[in-house]
Amino acid sequence: MHEHLETAMRIALDYLDGARDRAVFPDPADVERLAAALDGPVPAEPQPVADMLALLANVAAPATVANAGSRYFGFVNGGAMPATTAASWISTAWDQNAGMRAGSPAAELLEAAAFRWAADVLGVPATGGGFVTGATMANLTCLAAARHRILDGAGWDVGADGLFGAPPVSVVVGDEVHVSLLKALSVLGMGAGRVHRVPVDDQGRLDPHQLPPLDGRTIVCLQAGNVNSGASDPFTEIIPTAREAGAWVHVDGAFGLWANAAPGRAHLVDGVAGADSWATDAHKWLNVPYDCGIAMTRDVEALHAAMTTSAAYLGVPGQAEPHHNVPEMSRRARGIEVWAAIHSLGRSGIGEMVERACRLADRFAVAMAEAGFEVLNDVVLNQVLVSFGSDETTDRIIQSIQAGGIAWMGGTTWQGHRAMRFSVSNWQTTETDIDVVVGAVLTETGRLGLGGGHS
Ligand SMILES: *Cc1c(COP(=O)(O)O)cnc(C)c1O
């Protein structure tokens, strides 16, 4: 056991040591080499563990994406901090089943502390919830609680009787709703296509003046942090009146909710604490290893009603169990890395990490604007959208940066225009990293004879 785990640790440390300097996206030849190496049949006989580890180290690692480095700006991907990877290694060695109290007192207590701390850092009055794989599942978990509460109010037991013949539930979303929320609605049988879509402004914020009439049969889904622009819906103008009307307000705050952890950015999500439920990610801005999201609600009763199963062998009847808070039963204790992150950073460290990412995003935006390129969004958080002129030119520049290996960022379409989508979420990104990327972009635009670029 020692031999293999020590070899694995050395391989992992070598990998992490090189992560800042390697190509951010792998060379296609390395990807092909891995595909060829994996093409064989099931081994007929046991194989040496050392051979398996060597394959991971020498053939698979070159085909990884350098999320663990400092110049990955795609999607909203964080990178795991050393404290969280270390906690993850220990937790993996423990191999606890966090679904049941009887499965692990340590996991239950660490996750309970992590949940309480996370809600506190995020500034939301959540009393119930749990750790799931990401914001998609967190949205689903919260919306299941909402569905239960709304239908229970209409005298319908959705858990027992399902949705066939149930009183209709209205779901209101902004037109810039994240696809994962629509997926959650679809999986829950509430229909991704039958939502009422409210128009949004030029930053993607839901226009509160165009909300339909709301009542106790309505779920209003708001957003903290638009996945492209980083903008949040105007919570103070929507949440109090929606809740007074009896609606359930859910907030998808996959990364944007973390603005509340940074004193200088908290105003961006003013009023978010008034909602009924919140979904967020820890693998994005909190920089814990994949995968980890958090579902949070103030309505523990509705959540338990939506998630509870009972069987004689699963625990003490009437006693709350970890699996009463989330869809999964058996699962790993992914809250341990959240606890480790908050323990090691503290409130001030988390605030600084969020603030730093915002400032670095701004540094990139300022450099692009100074070079004569159009920044399409108000850079209030960690997201920047840049157009380099025509859609074709913008896509061409994104592709050449991706292929160059110095950094990786994706593309998107923002209000009809192709844009480079630049997101800063990694704890180790520095000003130098930003300047390196700016240099690479300007070299490319210079080559194409664009803007104020130089080469
Ligand atoms: C990333 C994101 C999601 C989905 O989160 P996963 O962790 O990928 O499941 C949902 N909503 C928003 C706003 C996001 O940015």
> Is the minimum distance from the CB of 387 to ligand 1 under 6 angstroms?
no
Q: Is 78 in the pocket of ligand 1 (CB under 6 A)?
A: no
pLDDT at 454 over 70: no
| Predicted pLDDT of residue 452 | 56
Q: Determine what percent of the chain is predicted with pLDDT higher than 70.
A: 99
Residue 311 has a pLDDT of 73
By residue count, the chain amounts to: 455
Which candidate, 242, 109, 257, 250, places its Cα nearest to that of 177? 250
Q: How many CB atoms lie within 10 A of CB 400?
A: 16
- Taking CA atoms, 103 is separated from 331, 368, 451, in Å, by 10, 52, 61
Contact 149, 304 (CB under 8 A): no
Q: Give the ligand 1 atom nearest the CA of 138.
A: 9
For the Cβ of 293 lying below 6 angstroms from any atom of ligand 1, the answer is yes
H/E segment holding residue 387: strand 383-387
Q: What is the pLDDT of residue 105?
A: 96
Tokens 């990490």 belong to which residue? 353
> 119 CA to middle of ligand 1, Å?
18
Calculate mean pLDDT across residues 65-80: 96
More confident residue, 105 or 320: 105
> In this model, does residue 317 exceed pLDDT 90?
no
On the question of a cis peptide bond just before residue 291, with omega within 30 degrees of 0, the verdict is yes
Decide if pLDDT at 140 tops 70.
yes
Phi and psi dihedrals of 172, rounded to 5? Answer: -110, 130
Give the mean pLDDT of the chain: 96
302 has a pLDDT exceeding 90: yes
Compute, in angstroms, the gap from residue 311 CA to the centroid of ligand 1. Answer: 33
- The answer to whether the pTM exceeds 0.95 is yes
Q: How confident is the model at residue 318 (pLDDT cuts 50, 70, 90)?
A: confident
Dist. CA 281 → ligand 1 center (Å): 7
Rounded Cα distance, 229 and 266, in Å: 17
Q: Which of 131, 133, 136 to mutate to test the pocket of ligand 1 (most atoms within 8 A of CB)?
A: 136
Best residue among 77, 252, 277, 283 to mutate for probing ligand 1's pocket (most ligand atoms within 8 Å of CB) is: 252
Question: What pLDDT score does 315 carry?
Answer: 76
Residue 308, pLDDT > 90, answer: no
Give the span between the Cα atoms of 167 and 179, in whole angstroms: 25
Q: Please choose, from the candidates 90, 102, 176, 181, the residue with its C-alpha nearest in 3D space to the C-alpha of residue 143.
A: 181
pLDDT, one tens digit per residue, over 391-402 is 999 999 999 999
pLDDT 10s digits, 409-436: 999 999 999 999 999 999 999 999 999 9
Condensed to tens digits (0 to 9), the pLDDT of residues 258-271 reads 999 999 999 999 99
Tell me the mean pLDDT in the region 327-333.
97
